[in-house]
Amino acid sequence: MPSVSLSDLFSFDSFAHTTMFMVLCFLMIVGISKQYTFPKLKHYAIRTSLAISTLFGICIEILQFSVVPGRTAEIMDIVSNTIGCLLGIVLFKWIYTW
């Protein structure tokens, strides 16, 4: 079992994961909330984008571990991706509630 420390959360790699998933989740919320084809989906834009973005990050790590030789899945990447998704929600609420 690989050791996981809190200092791994503040590395450049974690910062990159967090930033990319923050942008992904933010833009997904904006896109889903501005569409009119599926009104129920529009109502649950934040929940939907959080679920899709988080599952996407987990799937990336699983595929990276199982398909790409020499690559490993890292728990801190999943944590960073999820934190980025949550920050994307905070950013959306901050911008669109002013």
Tens digit of pLDDT for each residue in 24-83? 999 999 999 999 999 999 999 999 999 999 999 999 999 998 998 888 888 999 999 999
Higher pLDDT, 93 or 7: 93
Q: What is the model's pLDDT at position 19? A: 96
Q: What is the model's pLDDT at position 3? A: 61
Report the half-sphere exposure of 7 (CA within 13 A, side-chain side): 1
Report the half-sphere exposure of 19 (CA within 13 A, side-chain side): 7
For the chain, the domains span 8-96
Residue 13 has pLDDT above 70, yes or no: yes
Q: Which residue has the tokens 């109502």?
A: 43
Q: What is the model's pLDDT at position 73? A: 86
Q: Which residue type, as a one-letter code, is found at position 41?
A: L
The token duo for 82 is 């999820």
